[in-house]
Amino acid sequence: MIGNKIIVPPIKSQGIKTKLVPWIKSILPQKTGRWIEPFMGTGVVAFNTDFKEAYLSDINPHIINFYNAIKNKDITPHLVRFFLEKEGNILKNRGEEHYKFIRDRFNKYFDSLDFLFLSRAGFNGMIRFNKKGCWNIPFCKKINRFNKSYITKIVNQVSRVSNRITSNWIFECTDFREIIKKASKNDIIYCDPPYHGRYVDYYNGWSDDDENDLFELLSITKAKFILSAWHHNNYRSNSMIEKYWNIFNIITKEHYYHSGGRIENRNSIVEALVYNFELNFSKPVEKSLFLGVGSMSKISL
């Protein structure tokens, strides 16, 4: 965060936690070690902490390649402007045909700038890969997508995250099991796995075994952890809370996910933060409902 302003990353995704960052930050314990994030996604949570050392990982290699390219200065704000102006002009002339051209080029060479282009010109800022690991999101249908102000916005986002990334930030494409094992006592692990029982793509499958392994690893870690999970919506509860996570501390908060711009497309869900440490009550915790251990059946919001 810069002052009270959230650093918004240049990559978009449907599960992005931008709106929940202040809530997550409000329960962070005193920082002593590294920030470890095994399901980094867009990286929005990490970019808004002030840890000097970070170990960020994801099973999606395109995310990791993109941030390593920023870290190594292979991608700079200047280069992003040049690239988006060039490709954006062609998009304006050729429309969807050019989106498909970049999509096919990306699916062949997996270039990080093409990944950025697709993330910002794809439908609804979603990331989805098919069974062959190829980009699988349709065009947003806006041929003037990369107008001057939109490019400037993206360039500024690249600039802010590159200012945040230091040589002590590691980006690695690895399964969460390997990362959590490496955490030590002073580290803080933040986990935001694909939600059990919700959307699935090539990099976002989440099985009962995955949930079980995550539970086993977080149960024995010496580090402090925070886990994001969905708790319940109007129709059902997340059975994994009762099965596994109820033995830890839990706070919840109502949240709206947008699918499309229309107000009626806002889906309300109650989000949970599961954590294994005592809260520091001298810090204001953003409006939340505190649930005691084993209290799944007593929730009312």
Site residues for ligand SAM per CB under 6 A: 13, 15-17, 38-39, 41-42, 44-45, 58-60, 175-176, 192-194, 203-204
Query: Toward ligand SAM, which CB reaches closer, 60 or 252?
Result: 60
Please provide the DSSP assignment of 281-298 as one string.
Answer: TTSPPPS-EEE-TT-GGG
Structure tokens at 284: 């204001």
Query: Toward ligand SAM, which CB reaches closer, 41 or 88?
Result: 41
Query: Toward ligand SAM, which CB reaches closer, 87 or 211?
Result: 211
Task: State which residue has the least CB distance to ligand SAM.
Answer: 41
Query: Toward ligand SAM, which CB reaches closer, 13 or 288?
Result: 13
Query: Toward ligand SAM, which CB reaches closer, 39 or 225?
Result: 39
Give how far Cα 98 sits from Cα of 14, 75, 133, Å: 24, 22, 21
User: CB of residue 91 vs ligand SAM: minimum separation in angstroms?
Assistant: 25
Q: Which residues 6+ apart lie within 8 Å of 235 measured at CB?
A: none
User: CB of residue 9 vs ligand SAM: minimum separation in angstroms?
Assistant: 7
CA 210-212-216 angle, 5° bins: 115
User: CB of residue 192 vs ligand SAM: minimum separation in angstroms?
Assistant: 4
Answer yes or no: are the C-beta atoms of 188 and 224 closer than 8 Å: yes
User: CB of residue 169 vs ligand SAM: minimum separation in angstroms?
Assistant: 16
User: CB of residue 40 vs ligand SAM: minimum separation in angstroms?
Assistant: 6
Q: Which residues 6+ apart lie within 8 Å of 163 measured at CB?
A: none
* Cα–Cα distance measured from residue 108 to residue 224, given in angstroms and rounded to the nearest whole number: 41
